[in-house]
Amino acid sequence: MDKRWNSLRTTSKIIADKIKKGWIYLALFFTLKIMILKKFNIENKKARDLIPQAITVLALLSVIIYFATNAQINMGNRGISFGFGFLNQEASFDITFSMIEYDGSHSYGRAFLVGLLNTILVSAIGIFFATIMGVVVGISRLSDNYLIAKVAEWYVEIFRNIPLILQIFFWYFAALRALPLPENGINFYDISFLTIKGWYVPKFIWTNFNIFLLSVIAAFIAIYFINSYATKQREQFGKQLPATTISLSTLILIPLIAFLFLGVSLTFEYPVLKQLSPTVFTYAGGVSIIPELIALALALSMYTATFIAENVRAGILGVGKGQKEAAASIGLNKNQILKLVVMPQALRIIIPPTTNQYLNLTKNSSLAAAIAYPDIVLVFAGTALMQTGRAIEIISITMLTYLTLSISISIFMNWYNKKMAIKEK
Amino acid sequence: MVLIAKPSKNNIKTYVPIGLSLVSLSFLDVFLYAFFNLNLTAFLPSQLSYFLPLILGFIGFYLIRIEFSGISSLDILNKNINSSNFNALLTLFTIFIIIKSIPPMLDWFILDANFVGNSKEDCTGDGACWVFIKVWFNRFMYGLYPDAEQWRINTAFLILFATVGVSFFVSEKLKKYFILFLVFVFPFLGIKLISGGSFGLEYVESAAWGGLSLTFIISAFAILFCFPIGVILALGRRSSLPAIKYISIGFIELWRGVPLITVLFMSAVMFPMFLPDGTFIDKLIRVLIAITLFEAAYMAEVVRGGLQALPKGQYEAAKSLGMGYWRMNALIILPQALKLVIPGIANTLLALVKDTPLIFVVGLMELAGMIGLAKTNPKWLGMAMEGYVFAGLVFWVICYAMSRYSQNLEKKLSTER
């Protein structure tokens, strides 16, 4: 041990020396810069601007070159070459939860896809529930009922100030571990069972699912045309068409036709208790939602909901009182005021910070690795990295994936934001 | 009765006493059932008995809902919790849920909990086993730091708190020196004291550091370094020089687009590949660099918000006084911009503190990590609930205090325009 500490001390001395040298170089750069400026009496703005930029670019380039050469030497020493060919190799490890077909004989590329889909799944669930809870809590904080406002306030104060990772641990290691074993699972009308091994829900079995999907898409296209027609009618002739009712009935009617006449049908496969051995029980059939997913989704949505609630509250408070009064004075009723005057303006304030929260939730879903939910970090940056040892490739792919996810969410939300923004004429 | 006459000022003398007694009766029923398992309405069919408090309370609230009754306390009550049927229902539900959830919580936390003893076997009650926290407390605070040397951590934190405390009471002139000491001298003095290796202090390698003290150490250093880097990045992003501007944008967006956990993974497994063979940088330092750069990117965006919010006139006025870029920013722009974004800065620092438990990915164990270690100890299995409730409380107190302090600071520094 002493040897290691000694080597540590010497290396830290070397590093300290290097840092000292770095300072000297930096000081040298600046004195040189000042000297050049003074000597040639450069008052030209272009030249003055060029020097700091050149220094920054040079410094960045030298750091990158330094890292790259080191990486090359290190990889050469270990006998590995840079490349992404390993993605086609057999992964030979299993993943506990997968939305697509996967087993050990599939490739690393497929394992990556499984992890990515799991990340997207938990993020989507989290965003859905966080939005609902956030809106409810945010509106409750403005309730004229003192108790409700206080309860909402304390919900925000409590869940916002506890680290997310602790909340995930709490749900996973403490709360969900207190659930009963499969044989005494909490029974919801014999349809679904909540146990320590997960939540068993019925499985949907479709016949002619494609036709159903097409009918839903057709319904949405119809709704789009109905709405644009209704808007036209309203703007040109001042006629109010019951667009919402018509859209809703279209959404129900077209899939219903598919069910009745086009051979689409849906049956459920219910989970059934099965005995594996005298003491071990499990459920057969249905879909098992693993406790890792439940804990993660719960913690993510409850944590993010506090931030969304604050955004919603700020947004509604941000709409001037005069707006509501003006709307009331032209004879709009309470629902119309909320729908036509307050919400469109509040949404403009709410959306940008809420986008950030969606991004944060997606990034925070990577904490899955802490409780072994097989997301991209655990599967790819964890297991796959351990097996292949390709640190640079795998970490870069993982980071690039998150960057892509972040950028695509922000592009979508920017588009939505633009749609909602004030259109100045 | 409800249909006979609408409650109004005329029948206030009869309706208010009846209404109030109905409401109190419903609360009493729920209270007795929750605390003493005593059901007043056991003679009724079970469904009715279950919903009776709700019905009674609802009727009671309806009867006392009299506008402009002339009794000020009744008016306040009605306005705050009983303004409509819907609100009355919400009020009843909230109060019932609070009453019902108190006894189990109380039982678990205090009444059935165990406080005395030294091992898991001493925990006989159904409630929490606080013995676990008591026995492991030292580890939760100091990690695997040797017991005999813990006074060094204590001294370092005592000096810190003492200097901060004293600096509140000294004059403005002296305060400057205190702050300079705290920012530039103390961190390195403190870290020397804790790591040792000279002045006759035994060297303690950073792998042994842990517990809450490590949370504080990492947070303090990351805050110290991420703030200036963030300010420089923000200035860089607003710079008129394209190379500096785009490098800053790229740097900020890269860090902001990836989760901290992958950055920590990177510092653990990828970063060593980028260094010359044989160089070894301490794990703690690598983690610190990763967290600092990550939070600096967020800090930069917050500071940029402040810079953008400043009116252009401020820049022009500073330039017209003949100030250069650095003087303008240091004396005119930043003091105003930073004041504007105190809430944002506080939120970033809070996020930083809340992110510290993530260092478990590289094998360092602060408070949450130590609890993970303790709960897997064969002698203490099944103590996850106690451990995480304890850690949650500790972090909650720290974060809540920070957010309150930032709110006060904001109020104190706000200059009305």
The domain limits of chain B are 12-111, 130-145+204-413
Q: What is the pLDDT of residue B197?
A: 73
d(CA B75, CA B274): 71
CA dihedral B388, B390, B396, B399 (to 10 degrees): -100
At B81, which helix (H) or strand (E)?
A: helix B72-81
Number of neighbouring beta carbons within 10 Å of residue B311:
9
Query: Is the distance from CB of A147 to CB of B83 less than 8 angstroms?
Result: no
Tokens of A303: 């944590």
Q: Which amino acid is at B72?
A: S
In terms of pLDDT, which residue wins out, B409 or A238? B409
Q: What is the pLDDT of residues A57-105, one digit of tens each?
A: 888 888 888 888 888 888 888 777 777 777 778 777 777 777 778 877 8
In terms of pLDDT, which residue wins out, B120 or A216? A216
Residue A265 lies in a domain: no
At B345, which helix (H) or strand (E)?
A: helix B342-355
Nearest CA in chain B to A409: B257
Q: What is the pLDDT of residue B1?
A: 46
State which residues form the domain around A18: 2-76
In terms of pLDDT, which residue wins out, B49 or A111? A111
In a mutagenesis test of the B interface, which of A399, A403, A410 is the best target, namely the one with the most B β-carbons within 10 Å? A399
Asked if residue A424 has pLDDT above 60, the reply is no
- B368 and A CB contact within 8 Å: yes
Euclidean distance between the first and the last CA atom of chain B, given in angstroms as a whole number: 58
Q: What is the pLDDT of residue A1?
A: 46
Asked if residue A423 has pLDDT above 80, the reply is no
d(CA B37, CA B53): 15
In terms of pLDDT, which residue wins out, A200 or A129? A129
d(CA B89, CA B51): 12
- B400 and A CB contact within 8 Å: yes
Chain pair A-B, CB pairs under 8 angstroms: 168
d(CA A75, CA A11): 21
Tokens of B365: 């164990």
Asked if residue B339 has pLDDT above 60, the reply is yes
Asked if residue A154 has pLDDT above 90, the reply is yes
Residue A254 lies in a domain: no
- B176 and A CB contact within 8 Å: no
Sequence-ordered alpha helix ranges (H) in A267-342: 291-318, 321-329, 334-336
Query: Is the distance from CB of B289 to CB of B267 less than 8 angstroms?
Result: yes
Residue A214 lies in a domain: no
The whole-chain average pLDDT of chain B stands at 84
Are B259 and A67 within 8 A, CB to CB? no
CATH of the domain at A159: 1.10.3720.10
d(CA B180, CA B372): 38
All residues of chain B having their beta carbon less than 8 Å from the beta carbon of residue A364 are 259
Nearest of A373, A392, A418 to residue A176 by alpha carbon: A373
Dihedrals phi, psi of A423, to nearest 5 degrees: -95, 105
Residue A70 lies in a domain: yes
Q: What are the residues whose beta carbons fall under 8 Å from the beta carbon of A334, sequence distance 6 or more?
A: none
d(CA B261, CA A422): 38
Q: What share of chain A is helix, strand, coil (3-state, %, to 5)?
A: 75, 10, 20
Angle at B101 between CA A127 and CA A200, to 5 degrees: 45
In a mutagenesis test of the A interface, which of B79, B89, B205, B262 is the best target, namely the one with the most A β-carbons within 10 Å? B262
All residues of chain B having their beta carbon less than 8 Å from the beta carbon of residue A179 are none
Nearest CA in chain A to B386: A174
Nearest-by-Cβ selection for B241 from A52, A148, A381: A52
Tokens of A173: 């290691």
A8 lies in the same domain as A70 = yes
Exposure on the CB side of residue B163, measured as CA atoms within 13 A: 19
According to CATH, the superfamily of the domain at B130-145+204-413 is MetI-like (1.10.3720.10)
Alpha carbon distances (Å) from A84 to A71, A93, B258: 16, 19, 21
Query: Is the distance from CB of A323 to CB of A345 less than 8 angstroms?
Result: yes
Asked if residue B301 has pLDDT above 60, the reply is yes
Nearest-by-Cβ selection for A399 from B240, B262, B399: B262
Q: Which amino acid is at A360?
A: N
Q: What is the pLDDT of residue B387?
A: 87
Asked if residue A185 has pLDDT above 80, the reply is no
Residues 83 through 112 of chain B touching chain A, CB cutoff 8 Å: 83, 87, 90-91, 94-95
- B362 and A CB contact within 8 Å: no
- Mean pLDDT across the stretch A197-205? 81
Query: Is the distance from CB of A301 to CB of A129 less than 8 angstroms?
Result: yes
Min Cα distance B1 → chain A (Å) is 26
Nearest-by-Cβ selection for B384 from A174, A363, A369: A174
Nearest-by-Cβ selection for A381 from B256, B265, B385: B265
Percent of chain B with pLDDT over 90: 10
All residues of chain A having their beta carbon less than 8 Å from the beta carbon of residue B256 are 406
Out of A53, A76, A99, a domain closes at A76
- B54 and A CB contact within 8 Å: no
Least confident stretch, A6-20, B201-215, B332-346 = A6-20
Query: Is the distance from CB of B89 to CB of B73 less than 8 angstroms?
Result: no
A292 lies in the same domain as A151 = yes
Min Cα distance A145 → chain B (Å) is 5
d(CA A255, CA A259): 6
User: How buried is residue B358: exposed, middle or buried, by Cβ count under 10 Å (0-12/13-18/19+)?
Assistant: buried
Q: What is the pLDDT of residues B128-171, one digit of tens each?
A: 888 888 888 888 888 888 877 788 888 888 888 888 888 878 88
Q: What is the pLDDT of residue A312?
A: 92
Are B395 and A5 within 8 A, CB to CB? no
Query: Is the distance from CB of B63 to CB of B22 less than 8 angstroms?
Result: yes
- Mean pLDDT across the stretch A315-338? 86
d(CA A409, CA A359): 7
Q: What is the pLDDT of residues A204-214, one digit of tens each?
A: 777 777 788 88
Euclidean distance between the first and the last CA atom of chain A, given in angstroms as a whole number: 74
A41 lies in the same domain as A122 = no
In terms of pLDDT, which residue wins out, A39 or B361? B361
Provide the b/e sequence for A304-341 (b: ≥16 CB within 10 Å). bbbbbbbbbbebbeebeeeebeebeeeebeeeebeeeb
Q: What is the pLDDT of residues B104-130, one digit of tens each?
A: 888 888 888 778 877 777 777 777 888
d(CA B388, CA B368): 7
Asked if residue A152 has pLDDT above 90, the reply is yes
Residue A197 lies in a domain: yes
Query: How many domains does chain A contain in total?
Result: 2
A393 lies in the same domain as A329 = yes
Query: Is the distance from CB of A406 to CB of A414 less than 8 angstroms?
Result: no
- B257 and A CB contact within 8 Å: yes
A72 lies in the same domain as A162 = no
Residue A123 lies in a domain: yes
Q: What are the residues whose beta carbons fall under 8 Å from the beta carbon of A141, sequence distance 6 or more?
A: A149, A152, A153, A156, A309, A313
Under the banding of pLDDT at 50, 70 and 90, the label for residue B324 is confident
Q: Which amino acid is at A42?
A: I
Asked if residue A303 has pLDDT above 90, the reply is yes
Q: Which amino acid is at A378?
A: L
In order, the DSSP letters of A134-151 are: HHHHHHHHT-S-HHHHHH
Asked if residue A2 has pLDDT above 60, the reply is no
In terms of pLDDT, which residue wins out, B135 or A141? A141
Are A406 and B256 within 8 A, CB to CB? yes
Percent of chain B with pLDDT over 70: 98
Q: What is the pLDDT of residue A158?
A: 92
Under the banding of pLDDT at 50, 70 and 90, the label for residue A129 is very high
A131 lies in the same domain as A56 = no
d(CA B279, CA A7): 10
Residue A324 lies in a domain: yes
Exposure on the CB side of residue A167, measured as CA atoms within 13 A: 23
Sequence-ordered alpha helix ranges (H) in B107-241: 130-142, 150-167, 172-180, 186-195, 211-237
Residue A242 lies in a domain: no
d(CA A400, CA A136): 35
A188 lies in the same domain as A293 = yes
Residues 61 through 80 of chain B touching chain A, CB cutoff 8 Å: 79-80
- Mean pLDDT across the stretch A326-335? 87
Nearest-by-Cβ selection for B399 from A14, A161, A173: A161
Nearest of A134, A47, A147 to residue A309 by alpha carbon: A134
Min Cα distance B66 → chain A (Å) is 16
